[in-house]
Amino acid sequence: MKTALHGGRSVAGLLACALCCALWLGFLALAHHRIRTLSTAGPGGPAALAPRHATAAALCTVALAVCALALVF
């Protein structure tokens, strides 16, 4: 956020910060869901990660990396 607002407030900077925050919260929600699943696993072990959850986590990670690059450069 500091990097985006360094030169003063701008709509693009605020939108970038909001997008990064939303992506981070989405990633945390996915991680929390997986941790809950792992903690309630029975003796047979946890169920495999659903493909849509794995895809969402990967997309959030890539999108956060893109946002970070955009804020740095």
pLDDT in tens, 7-42: 667 777 778 778 888 888 988 998 898 898 888 887
Task: Supply the pLDDT for residue 51.
Answer: 92
pLDDT tens, position by position, 45-66: 888 888 998 898 899 889 888 8
Task: Supply the pLDDT for residue 6.
Answer: 64
Q: Is the pLDDT higher at 4 or at 59? A: 59
56 and 29 Cβ atoms separated by less than 8 Å: no
Task: Supply the pLDDT for residue 48.
Answer: 83
Four-residue CA torsion sign, 9, 10, 12, 18:
positive
pTM to 2 decimals?
0.68
What residue spans define the domains of the chain? 11-72
Question: Which residues contact residue 26 at a Cβ distance below 8 angstroms, ignoring those fewer than 6 apart?
Answer: 56, 60
Quote the tokens at residue 45: 């072990």
Four-residue CA torsion sign, 43, 48, 50, 55:
positive
